[in-house]
Structure 1
Amino acid sequence: MSKIAWHDTHISHTRCWPWDLDPWNELNNGRALTFFDLGRVGWTARMDVADVMREHQWGMAVAGSTVRYRRRVKLFNRLEMRTRIVGWDDKFFYYEQSTWKRDGECAYHAVIRAALTSRAGLVPPAKLVNALDRGIVQPEMPKWIQQWAKAEELRPWPPMSDDVTPNALEAA
């Protein structure tokens, strides 16, 4: 596929096959996340980001996501995936991805938070942007994504519940 600019939307297509189904004969939500992964790989390849990451020995890992499922995807439904980067902060890149059915309905939508990594740990996203050397201007992320990112910072980690403790896990 042809190269795209940093803020362009990458469009890819897929189909729901028998191995993508859950027990209710609909697209498995885990498979939907795999489709999102494939969309980001396509966006990365068209941007030449992968070349710069290899050169610096950087990797990329999903560090969080929020997904909204709204329309059922059934066997053999053809899907259009749209992937774009919406911004970054001091730790993460944020991608917006949506999957559309042939009738024009959005089946599901996600925001993916991705961490640029090295052997030493997290790499600030600005390092990749600067390494691309394309004069990329940081966009202002939509307010709702900013609020989601702030809420994620409030989430306790590691999570614990009252009925499971580290000692109980060791005894099991």
Structure 2
Amino acid sequence: MYPIMRMVKEMVKYRNAAPLPLTGTHVSEHRCWPSDIDLWMELNNGRTLTLFDLGRIPLARRIGLIETLRSNRWGMTMAGVSVRYRRRIRTFEKITMRSRAVYWDDKFVYLEQTMWKQNGECANQALYRAAITGSNGIVPPDTVMNALPVKAPRPLAPAWVMNWIEADATRPWPPEQD
């Protein structure tokens, strides 16, 4: 089940938070609840992706994207993700999530999200590819960035992000069938 109440809590908690620059980092704290765990008594890998929403949506609000989406009747969808799971997060463990936009090209916005344990270890990291959509399909990120209240030049893509973009472009779509 989607953590609607947790999302409401995050949106209320950060409703008066200072605006962020386009590549600013939204930092939030969360806890792994019993409803988040799998059979091995740790944060479920799929639930990790859902919990990343709890950082991504407030980030979007703080950079002015939510209001821009509403006023232009646009939507946002995730168009891909690459995740590294490196440390277990156990029931009731508290984590710090860091969410930020790292790059955009002519089709997608790339977002990095990480979860950090209280001992300073990074538990996992996700690189998302997000698309802004309108009635005619994908809205070019430069159009979106120009509509935001805060302006910033396109950042240089980190090498690891470009490597992922290039590698993913070689992946067949639709997938081959057996």
**Do structure 1's residue 156 and structure 2's residue 172 form an aligned pair?**
yes
Moved over 3 A (4+): none
- Report if the CA contact (8 A) 2:64-2:149 is conserved: no
**Do structure 1's residue 17 and structure 2's residue 33 form an aligned pair?**
yes
Rounded to whole Å, the distance in 1 between the matches of 2:27 and 2:96 is: 7
Rounded to whole Å, the distance in 2 between the matches of 1:2 and 1:35 is: 22
Question: Of the two, which has the highest radius of gyration?
Answer: 1
Give the match for residue 20 of structure 2. Answer: 4
**Do structure 1's residue 52 and structure 2's residue 68 form an aligned pair?**
yes
Give the match for residue 67 of structure 1. Answer: 83
Structure 1 residues without counterparts, runs of 5 or longer: 163-172
Q: Which residue identity lines up with residue 25 of structure 1 in the other structure?
A: M
> 1:143 aligned to 148, 159, 169, which one?
159
Deviations 1:63-117, CA, capped at 9 Å, x for gaps: 0010000000000000100001001011100001110010000000010000110
**Do structure 1's residue 105 and structure 2's residue 113 form an aligned pair?**
no
Give the match for residue 143 of structure 2. Answer: 127
Rounded to whole Å, the distance in 2 between the matches of 1:42 and 1:134 is: 16
Give the match for residue 87 of structure 1. Answer: 103
Rounded to whole Å, the distance in 2 between the matches of 1:40 and 1:135 is: 19
**Do structure 1's residue 40 and structure 2's residue 56 form an aligned pair?**
yes
Rounded to whole Å, the distance in 2 between the matches of 1:37 and 1:141 is: 23
Give the match for residue 165 of structure 1. Answer: none
Rounded to whole Å, the distance in 2 between the matches of 1:106 and 1:95 is: 17
Secondary structure at the residue paired with 2:150?
coil
Secondary structure at the residue paired with 1:12?
strand
Q: TM-score, normalised by structure 1?
A: 0.91
When structure 1 is superposed on structure 2, of 83-92 and 127-136 the one drifting more is 127-136
Rounded to whole Å, the distance in 1 between the matches of 2:22 and 2:107 is: 18
Q: TM-score, normalised by structure 2?
A: 0.88
Q: Which residue identity lines up with residue 154 of structure 1 in the other structure?
A: T
**Do structure 1's residue 114 and structure 2's residue 130 form an aligned pair?**
yes
Rounded to whole Å, the distance in 2 between the matches of 1:91 and 1:3 is: 25
Root mean square deviation, CA, Å:
1.0
Rounded to whole Å, the distance in 2 between the matches of 1:92 and 1:137 is: 15
